[in-house]
Amino acid sequence: MKPAVSRTPDLPLGELFLRAAPFAEDARVRVVAEALDYLQQGFDAHYASGPASDDDILLGDNAYAGAVEIVAGLNEPALVAAAARMIQDGAGEISAGRRVSIEVWVPHLAALLEILTEEGAEHSEERILRAVRELSHP
């Protein structure tokens, strides 16, 4: 049996988000980073290469539920909407037979960061891209 291969970016989304945030110690930033880790775990469980087992689906569902519960706990509809768009675009890539690249998720990560920082979308995207470069080439 071939080992499952992740179909999400090789970069840990939570760490990337914390690195990009101008104030990583902020509780809301840490909560979103934790939710991003769960989201990535859910995608990896559901969509690793090859057919997903019942256990994979259960693990993925639990991870998604954790992500949604965490973000919903912030009671900020804009964050939930941004996360939903991220999930939708990632699932679209998978259903088209492609791996989800970090480029697909950069705008969504930037939107999440912009909601928290209120710095503007362009500045948030610059922060995310800088964190991608740092994590890609340590």
Tell the burial category of 86 from Cβ atoms under 10 Å away from its Cβ (0-12, 13-18, 19+). Answer: buried
* 112: pLDDT strictly greater than 80: yes
Distance CA 99, CA 57 (A): 18
Q: Are 30 and 24 in contact (CB under 8 A)?
A: yes
Average pLDDT score over residue span 32-54:
80
Distance CA 4, CA 136 (A): 22
* 93: pLDDT strictly greater than 60: yes
* 51: pLDDT strictly greater than 80: no
Rg (CA), the chain: 15
Count the Cβ atoms, other than its own, within 10 Å of residue 57.
Answer: 12
pTM reported for the whole predicted model: 0.86
Count the Cβ atoms, other than its own, within 10 Å of residue 62.
Answer: 14
Q: Point out the least confidently predicted range of 28-42, 63-77, 92-106, 110-124.
A: 63-77
